[in-house]
């Protein structure tokens, strides 16, 4: 688009106050159509004549801001009349809120040094064919707004008693920044998707009044109340109660996550404008007449996330498992807010590449995330350093990167999206970035064909971590080399699909595999075995799988894995005859296990399985998120192995499907389904007398394996039986 609008900003520094940019104009002809093009440095909320221009929130979303900022286009024909005022508030958003408690990186300093700014153009086409454009320029004014403060981590301060009529309007100044940075929005719009009514307000032993929404969500609270001007509402957000049953949010670290609202007179409604919170509980710190005067009707929880279409469903005869499935869905909802984030509550909420990489497959079963990941991967490529280094987080606000299993998001995410949706465009778009990641490794290792000598997160949060360390005991060089091989194999596959010469990568791959085999002749942890098997690197995968099964059993049928091993361990076991053991891990209730948090009342996936320990203590204040989707990656095993629905590499996007269900006696039934662009795929099994009864529905040709017997079927619904062994 050829912008006529200019970036505009306040002519004076407004500190934390959120500016409202305004423009009044008249029209005297009949309007055919009016389109508003709009973006901001920060996050904006726009209205015309007092009515919102969209139901999207937190626009323009989060991208690699140094390279691109999205703009939105809204049809506002219904809002424009003869006398008009456009008003746009612009909060700091991700661009200008301080992110992450660490020392600010040079990238963040650069972004934060820019002023909060707006750019827009209203295009009005009249029925007589004439077109009028109202662009942002120095004829716009700005003033203070009722939003006195708004930041991503700290929350919002709003003064409803602020009289905006009396606010002094000043002329804006234009801000000289390129408009070439503006791109039409992609991904999925961020919206208020749902709302939740709180279940009760309770009084803690400390005497705090706390609202329980019954579900951890990402979003905010909407207030409805009657008050006097100047009355105060103050809310604090938290995820869990402490051991004594008191409100707790020390695990938010430096994120204040507060909401402060000064009332106007009478009945009023308010919800935050430029921020979001991750919470289940809300402590009422102040309320007109005191916290005890608050009632459930005063509060509504608004669930905010990217608007993705739900595609996958899982359910079983086991209520704990069903709660786990639910928690995985909520983990995705809570962390797919334009960018796949680690968590939505503490002072991070960043697009950690490792987390996204381990979860992408599950994400693509649960929801249609093709656009969501395509957008994020573009940012990954833009933020990738010239030497190929991939950031720890994307958008890269930390200006640090290069860890194996994190940077491999560059190859793994495009590949999984391709498999799930079948469009080679994602590979085409990302291919350079994928190759650059391989060159980065090649140029930075201290030993050719292995990856040694640089920093990695290792098997992050591995249960076999030595005391005082976040990193599991698996050797980092082994993990890094395994991913080096895997990423190279994905470059080869992608290159072949794109018709590229991949001989260089084929040679490299062979060299990595033989170096791996020469160097790592034995595997000493569950994660090491898992990677050697899952990436097909061990000389004898069956032998390593036998060893892994043995280790798991000797460990008391317990996981000892972290971020790297956990997503693959069930696959590694079930691929080599240990499906039964994989189920034992999945169904285990005691710590450490997927179900343990469920027994502790979890409504999302926790960062640590012992986020809350048996005795009620917390893991640590430092790193204890109760909404971290990564371990939810186990769902891809349930869809793909237990239910058995898998894409076929040669027919990606479910043009054909492989369905190989694997029932387990500890469950009476399991239902898995996936809505694809070709139609609904369903794989269900249940006990019927001495048999398993399978019901399979496929909209495409399917390769079905039931109890070891293969067959290919045409679209249709089928029933099969096999004896319960
Ligand atoms: C994040 C993780 C992330 C990790 C990297 C943490 O602080 O929350 O999920 O992947 O850092 O080690």
Quote the tokens at residue 606.
Answer: 């926790």
**Residue 382 belongs to what H/E stretch?**
helix 370-383
Residues serving a catalytic function are: 348, 607
Task: Report whether residue 348 contacts ligand 1, using a CB cutoff of 6 Å.
Answer: yes
Can you tell me the distance from the alpha carbon of 111 to that of 627, in angstroms, rounded to the nearest whole number? 28
Quote the tokens at residue 589.
Answer: 């209730």
The ligand 1 atom nearest the CA atom of 628: 9
What pLDDT does residue 609 have?
A: 87
**Residue 285 belongs to what H/E stretch?**
strand 277-286
Give the torsion through C-alpha atoms of 36, 151, 389, 383, to 10 deg.
Answer: 10
Give the torsion through C-alpha atoms of 553, 605, 472, 518, to 10 deg.
Answer: 70
Query: Ligand 1 centroid to 663 CA: how many Å?
Result: 34
Q: Whose CA is nearest to atom 8 of ligand 1?
A: 342
Query: Ligand 1 centroid to 393 CA: how many Å?
Result: 9
Burial class (CB in 10 A: 0-12, 13-18, 19+), 13: exposed
Quickly tell me which residue has 């969501």 as its tokens. 372
Predicted confidence (pLDDT) per residue in 217-265, tens digit: 999 999 999 999 999 999 999 999 999 999 999 999 999 999 999 999 9
Can you tell me the distance from the alpha carbon of 28 to that of 552, in angstroms, rounded to the nearest whole number? 77
Confidence of residue 621 (pLDDT cuts 50, 70, 90): confident
What pLDDT does residue 102 have?
A: 58
Confidence of residue 619 (pLDDT cuts 50, 70, 90): confident
The ligand 1 atom nearest the CA atom of 343: 8
Can you tell me the distance from the alpha carbon of 436 to that of 408, in angstroms, rounded to the nearest whole number? 11
Predicted confidence (pLDDT) per residue in 567-603, tens digit: 999 999 999 999 999 999 999 999 999 999 999 999 9
Can you tell me the distance from the alpha carbon of 52 to that of 700, in angstroms, rounded to the nearest whole number? 44
Task: Report whether residue 631 contacts ligand 1, using a CB cutoff of 6 Å.
Answer: no
Average pLDDT over every residue of 187-204: 97
The ligand 1 atom nearest the CA atom of 406: 10
Query: Ligand 1 centroid to 285 CA: how many Å?
Result: 31
Average pLDDT, the chain: 97
> Read out DSSP for 612-680?
B-TTS-BS-SSS--S--GGGGGGHHHIIIIIS-EEEBTTBTTTTSEEE-----TT-SEEEEEEEETTEE
Q: Whose CA is nearest to atom 11 of ligand 1?
A: 352
Query: Ligand 1 centroid to 414 CA: how many Å?
Result: 21
The ligand 1 atom nearest the CA atom of 470: 12
Query: Ligand 1 centroid to 635 CA: how many Å?
Result: 20
Query: Ligand 1 centroid to 413 CA: how many Å?
Result: 18
Can you tell me the distance from the alpha carbon of 495 to that of 257, in angstroms, rounded to the nearest whole number? 46
Q: 156 φ, ψ to 5°?
A: -135, 145
Query: Ligand 1 centroid to 91 CA: how many Å?
Result: 27
Indicate the top mutation candidate among 342, 357, 396, 623 to test ligand 1's pocket, ranked by most ligand atoms within 8 A of CB. Answer: 342
Q: Is the predicted pLDDT of residue 725 greater than 90, yes or no?
A: no
Q: Whose CA is nearest to atom 4 of ligand 1?
A: 352
Contact 600, 323 (CB under 8 A): no
Pairing status of strand 190-196 against strand 299-306: antiparallel
Task: Report whether residue 460 contacts ligand 1, using a CB cutoff of 6 Å.
Answer: yes
Indicate the top mutation candidate among 255, 335, 460 to test ligand 1's pocket, ranked by most ligand atoms within 8 A of CB. Answer: 460
Can you tell me the distance from the alpha carbon of 299 to that of 563, in angstroms, rounded to the nearest whole number? 37
Distance of CA 394 to the CA centre of its chain: 11
Q: Is the predicted pLDDT of residue 467 greater than 90, yes or no?
A: no
Task: Report whether residue 457 contacts ligand 1, using a CB cutoff of 6 Å.
Answer: yes
Confidence of residue 191 (pLDDT cuts 50, 70, 90): very high
Can you tell me the distance from the alpha carbon of 135 to that of 125, in angstroms, rounded to the nearest whole number? 14
Q: Whose CA is nearest to atom 12 of ligand 1?
A: 457
The ligand 1 atom nearest the CA atom of 354: 10
- Give first-to-last CA distance, the chain, whole Å: 65
Q: Whose CA is nearest to atom 3 of ligand 1?
A: 352
What pLDDT does residue 620 have?
A: 83
Can you tell me the distance from the alpha carbon of 598 to that of 589, in angstroms, rounded to the nearest whole number? 8
Query: Ligand 1 centroid to 69 CA: how many Å?
Result: 25
What pLDDT does residue 376 have?
A: 98
Can you tell me the distance from the alpha carbon of 123 to that of 131, in angstroms, rounded to the nearest whole number? 7
76, 331, 410, 473, 611 from 461: Cα distances, Å: 49, 18, 22, 10, 12
Indicate the top mutation candidate among 153, 253, 255, 355 to test ligand 1's pocket, ranked by most ligand atoms within 8 A of CB. Answer: 355
Task: Report whether residue 379 contacts ligand 1, using a CB cutoff of 6 Å.
Answer: no
Can you tell me the distance from the alpha carbon of 288 to that of 230, in angstroms, rounded to the nearest whole number? 9
What pLDDT does residue 236 have?
A: 98
Average pLDDT over every residue of 375-398: 98
Q: Whose CA is nearest to atom 9 of ligand 1?
A: 342
Q: Whose CA is nearest to atom 5 of ligand 1?
A: 457
Average pLDDT over every residue of 22-26: 98
Query: Ligand 1 centroid to 101 CA: how many Å?
Result: 13
Can you tell me the distance from the alpha carbon of 604 to that of 373, in angstroms, rounded to the nearest whole number? 22
268, 631, 672, 684 from 607: Cα distances, Å: 38, 8, 26, 31
Task: Report whether residue 276 contacts ligand 1, using a CB cutoff of 6 Å.
Answer: no
Contact 380, 330 (CB under 8 A): no
Q: Is the predicted pLDDT of residue 297 greater than 80, yes or no?
A: yes
Q: Is the predicted pLDDT of residue 650 greater than 80, yes or no?
A: yes
What pLDDT does residue 670 have?
A: 98
**Bridge partners (DSSP) listed for residue 144:** 19
Question: Could you give the 3-state DSSP secondary structure of residue 2?
Answer: coil
Can you tell me the distance from the alpha carbon of 454 to that of 390, in angstroms, rounded to the nearest whole number? 14
Task: Report whether residue 231 contacts ligand 1, using a CB cutoff of 6 Å.
Answer: no
> Smallest Cα–Cα separation from 189: which of 98, 347, 72?
72
Task: Report whether residue 334 contacts ligand 1, using a CB cutoff of 6 Å.
Answer: no
**Residue 219 belongs to what H/E stretch?**
strand 209-227
Average pLDDT over every residue of 291-306: 98
The ligand 1 atom nearest the CA atom of 355: 10
Predicted confidence (pLDDT) per residue in 300-339, tens digit: 999 999 999 999 999 999 999 999 999 999 999 999 999 9
> Smallest Cα–Cα separation from 149: which of 166, 136, 162, 137?
162
Q: 64 φ, ψ to 5°?
A: -75, 85
Task: Report whether residue 352 contacts ligand 1, using a CB cutoff of 6 Å.
Answer: yes
Residue 60 backbone zone (phi > 0: left; psi -120 to 50: alpha; other: beta): alpha
Question: Could you give the 3-state DSSP secondary structure of residue 580?
Answer: helix
Q: Is the predicted pLDDT of residue 104 greater than 90, yes or no?
A: no
Quote the tokens at residue 222.
Answer: 């909407």
The ligand 1 atom nearest the CA atom of 352: 10
Task: State the SS3 of 106-138.
Answer: HHHHHHHCCCCEEEEEEEEEECCCCEEEEECCC
Task: Report whether residue 354 contacts ligand 1, using a CB cutoff of 6 Å.
Answer: yes
Can you tell me the distance from the alpha carbon of 214 to that of 578, in angstroms, rounded to the nearest whole number? 37
Q: Is the predicted pLDDT of residue 101 greater than 70, yes or no?
A: no
What pLDDT does residue 468 have?
A: 83
Query: Ligand 1 centroid to 43 CA: how many Å?
Result: 25
Task: Report whether residue 94 contacts ligand 1, using a CB cutoff of 6 Å.
Answer: no
Question: Could you give the 3-state DSSP secondary structure of residue 379?
Answer: helix
Which residues does 31 contact at the CB level (< 8 Å), separation at least 6? 77, 80, 124, 125, 126, 127
Question: Could you give the 3-state DSSP secondary structure of residue 77?
Answer: coil
Which residues does 672 contact at the CB level (< 8 Å), separation at least 6? 312, 313, 314, 638, 639, 642, 643, 644, 645, 682, 683, 684
Can you tell me the distance from the alpha carbon of 659 to that of 705, in angstroms, rounded to the nearest whole number? 6
What pLDDT does residue 362 have?
A: 98
> Mean pLDDT lowest for which of 148-157, 392-401, 617-626, 705-714?
617-626
Can you tell me the distance from the alpha carbon of 42 to that of 462, in angstroms, rounded to the nearest whole number? 37
Query: Ligand 1 centroid to 461 CA: how many Å?
Result: 9
Quickly tell me which residue has 């995985």 as its tokens. 328
């Amino acid at each position: 688009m050829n912008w006529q609008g200019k970036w505009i900003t306040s002519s004076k520094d407004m500190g934390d106050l959120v500016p409202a940019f305004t423009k009044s104009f008249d029209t005297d002809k009949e309007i055919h159509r009016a389109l508003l093009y709009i973006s901001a440095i920060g996050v904006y909320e726009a209205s015309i004549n007092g009515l919102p221009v969209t139901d999207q929130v937190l626009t323009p979303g989060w991208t690699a801001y140094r390279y691109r900022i999205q703009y939105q286009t809204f049809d506002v024909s219904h809002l424009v009349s003869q006398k008009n005022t456009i008003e746009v508030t612009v909060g700091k958003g991700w661009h200008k809120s301080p992110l992450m408690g660490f020392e600010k990186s040079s990238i963040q300093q650069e972004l934060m040094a820019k002023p909060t700014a707006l750019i827009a153009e209203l295009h009005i086409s009249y029925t007589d064919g004439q077109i009028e454009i109202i662009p942002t320029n120095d004829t716009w004014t700005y003033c203070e707004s009722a939003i006195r403060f708004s930041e991503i981590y700290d929350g919002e301060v709003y003064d409803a008693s602020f009289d905006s009529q009396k606010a002094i309007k000043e002329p804006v100044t234009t801000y000289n920044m390129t408009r070439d940075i503006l791109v039409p929005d992609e991904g999925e719009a961020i919206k208020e998707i749902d709302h939740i009514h709180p279940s009760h307000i309770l009084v803690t032993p400390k005497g705090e009044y706390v609202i329980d929404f019954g579900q951890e969500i990402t979003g905010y609270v909407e207030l409805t109340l009657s008050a006097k001007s100047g009355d105060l509402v103050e809310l604090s957000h938290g995820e869990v109660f402490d051991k004594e049953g008191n409100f707790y949010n020390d695990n938010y670290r430096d994120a204040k996550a507060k909401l402060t609202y000064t009332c106007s007179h009478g009945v009023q409604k308010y919800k935050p404008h430029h921020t979001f919170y991750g919470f289940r509980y809300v402590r009422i710190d102040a309320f007109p007449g005191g916290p005890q005067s608050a009632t459930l009707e005063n509060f509504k929880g608004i669930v905010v996330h990217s608007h993705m279409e739900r595609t996958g469903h899982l359910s079983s005869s086991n209520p704990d498992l069903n709660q786990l499935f639910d928690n995985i869905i909520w983990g995705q909802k809570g962390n797919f807010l334009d960018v796949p984030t680690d968590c939505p509550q503490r002072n991070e909420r960043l697009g950690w590449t490792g987390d996204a990489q381990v979860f992408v497959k599950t994400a693509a079963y649960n929801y249609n995330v093709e656009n969501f990941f395509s957008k994020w991967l573009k940012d990954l490529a833009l933020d990738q350093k010239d030497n190929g280094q991939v950031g720890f987080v994307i958008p890269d606000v930390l200006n640090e990167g290069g860890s194996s299993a994190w940077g491999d998001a560059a190859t793994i995410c495009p590949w999984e999206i391709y498999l799930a949706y079948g469009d080679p465009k994602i590979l085409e778009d990302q291919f350079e970035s994928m190759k650059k990641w391989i060159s980065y490794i090649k140029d930075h290792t201290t030993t050719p064909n292995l990856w040694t000598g640089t920093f990695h997160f290792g098997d992050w949060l591995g249960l076999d971590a030595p005391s005082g360390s976040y990193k599991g005991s698996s050797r980092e060089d082994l993990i890094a080399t395994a991913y080096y091989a895997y990423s190279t194999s994905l470059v080869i596959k992608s290159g072949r699909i794109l018709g590229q010469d991949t001989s260089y990568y084929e040679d490299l791959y062979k060299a990595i595999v033989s170096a791996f085999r020469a160097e790592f002749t034995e595997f000493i942890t569950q994660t090491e075995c898992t990677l050697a098997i899952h990436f097909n690197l061990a000389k004898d995968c069956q032998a390593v799988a036998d060893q892994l099964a043995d280790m798991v059993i000797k460990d008391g049928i317990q996981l000892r894995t972290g971020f790297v091993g956990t997503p693959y361990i069930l696959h590694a076991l079930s691929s080599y005859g240990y499906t039964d053991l994989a189920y034992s891990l999945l169904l285990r209730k005691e710590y450490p296990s997927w179900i343990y948090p469920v027994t502790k009342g979890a409504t999302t996936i926790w960062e640590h399985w012992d986020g809350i320990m048996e005795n009620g203590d917390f893991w640590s204040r430092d790193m204890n998120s109760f909404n971290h989707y990564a371990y939810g990656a186990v769902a891809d095993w349930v869809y793909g192995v237990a239910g058995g629905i898998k894409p076929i590499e040669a027919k990606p996007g479910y043009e054909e499907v492989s369905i190989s269900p694997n029932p387990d006696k500890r469950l009476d039934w399991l239902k898995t389904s996936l809505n694809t662009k070709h139609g609904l795929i369903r794989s269900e099994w249940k006990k019927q007398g001495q048999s398993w009864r399978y019901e399979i529905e496929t909209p495409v040709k399917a390769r079905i394996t039931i109890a070891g017997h293969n067959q290919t079927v045409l679209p249709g619904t089928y029933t099969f039986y096999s004896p319960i062994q």
